[in-house]
Amino acid sequence: MTTQGAIVTGGTGALGRAVVAHLLARGDRVAVPYRSAPGFEALRAAAGGSAALWGAEADIADIDSARRFVDAAAAWLGRLDAVACLAGGFKGGATLEATPASDWDAMLRVNLASVHATCRAALPHLLKEGGSVVTVSSRAADTGGAGAAAYAASKAAVVALTRALCLENVDRGVRFNTISPSIIDTDANRHAMPKADRSQWTSPEDIAKVVAFLLSPASATITGAVIPV
């Protein structure tokens, strides 16, 4: 398989680490934006100090910061073929009227604005060679997300944005797909839900396999899909 140049936002998180590991293992070069230097250094250490991994501090929900990072990443990678928009977060636990108004803006920023800014910055590079983008929605976007309206709305908006980008680029060689995971089996989720039935949770490693497939030329006939994982 030809070596790809990939950007993974949220690469220092549980799912991001699994995706980065999977891409590096198959020979890709990977660029990761980060907000915490120790988080990236831990990622680098887990990758054995791989020379195929590069990172820089960036706020990828900010259009200008995202553009600077993506331009620098594309230059380091040599070519940009793949973008995994994995950065995101969760706030919930209360009805809409009891939820702090700031949570609404926070969820839209971390889950939606990050995808918007990253895709806007990446498209000029992806259009040169063609490529693939994977975004992350949530089952809450389908079920309604009672008690987490801001989160559910932001993830539903990710689906709408991804579908719009698919239609805009279907004849320009760039593919856009979304994965829709159930609860991901992470240390943070185990701590937050210690009594939950984890039998239906999905491991980051299993999700990473799906993301890596969708980023690869092997999935060249798939675009505009919302794939439950």
Give the pLDDT confidence score for residue 164 in this predicted structure. 98
Closest by CA to 2, choosing from 103, 110, 122, 82, is: 82
Please say if 151 is a catalytic residue.
Answer: yes
Give the pLDDT confidence score for residue 193 in this predicted structure. 72
Give the pLDDT confidence score for residue 223 in this predicted structure. 98
If one counts the domains in the chain, the total is 1
Identified catalytic residue from 34, 40, 69, 151: 151
pLDDT per residue rounded down to tens, the chain (229 residues): 578 999 999 999 999 999 999 999 999 999 999 999 999 999 999 999 999 999 999 999 999 999 999 999 999 999 999 999 999 988 777 888 888 889 999 999 999 999 999 999 999 999 998 999 999 998 877 887 777 899 999 999 999 999 999 999 999 999 999 999 887 777 677 776 777 777 777 888 999 999 999 999 999 999 999 999 9
Q: For residues 60 and 75, give the distance between their C-alpha atoms in angstroms, rounded to a whole number.
A: 17
State the SS3 of 5-27.
EEEEECCCCHHHHHHHHHHHHCC
Q: How many Å is the maximal CA-CA distance in the chain?
A: 51
For 204, what's the count of Cα atoms within 13 Å in the CB-facing half-sphere? 18
Give the pLDDT confidence score for residue 188 in this predicted structure. 74
Cα R_g (the chain), whole angstroms: 17
**CB contact at 8 A, 176 and 165:** yes
Query: How many residues are present in the chain?
Result: 229
CATH number of the domain to which 224 belongs: 3.40.50.720
Give the pLDDT confidence score for residue 1 in this predicted structure. 58
Token representation of residue 159: 């689906």
- Give the residue numbers spanning the domain of 202: 5-228
**CB contact at 8 A, 207 and 14:** no
Residue ranges in 31-77 assigned as alpha helix (H): 37-46, 63-77
Give the pLDDT confidence score for residue 187 in this predicted structure. 67
Place of tokens 């991994």: 53
Residues 6 or more apart from 222 whose CB is under 8 A from it? 175, 177, 214
Residues 6 or more apart from 90 whose CB is under 8 A from it? 107, 148, 151
Place of tokens 């089996």: 185
Closest by CA to 88, choosing from 69, 112, 66, 67, is: 112
Place of tokens 């829709």: 180
Q: For residues 86 and 84, give the distance between their C-alpha atoms in angstroms, rounded to a whole number.
A: 6
Give the pLDDT confidence score for residue 35 in this predicted structure. 94
